[in-house]
Amino acid sequence: MAHLLQQLYDYLDGQQLWHSTLVLKRGDHLLRAGATDTNVYYLEEGTLHYYLLLEDEAQEVRFGYAGDFVVALDSFLVGRPSSLYAQALRKTTVRVLPQSVCFARIKEDPAFNQLWQQIMHWMVLGQLEREIDLLTNDTAERYRRVLERSPRLFQEIPAKYIANYLRMTPETLSRCKSAALAPGLRHKG
Classified as helix, coil or strand, 57 is strand
Residue 186 has pLDDT above 80, yes or no: no
pLDDT of res. 80: 95
- What whole-number distance in Å separates Cα of residue 132 and Cα of residue 126? 10
Residue 188 has pLDDT above 90, yes or no: no
pLDDT of res. 141: 87
Chain centroid to Cα 136, Å, comes to 20
Q: What is the pTM of this model?
A: 0.85
pLDDT of res. 178: 86
pLDDT of res. 2: 74
* Residue-averaged pLDDT of the chain: 89
Cα 127 to Cα 25, 42, 138: the distances in Å are: 28, 19, 19
Long-range contacts, 128-134 (Cβ 8 Å, 24+): 130/62, 133/166, 134/167
Residue 58 has pLDDT above 80, yes or no: yes
Task: Kindly report which listed range (107-111, 176-180, 184-188) carries the lowest average pLDDT score.
Answer: 184-188
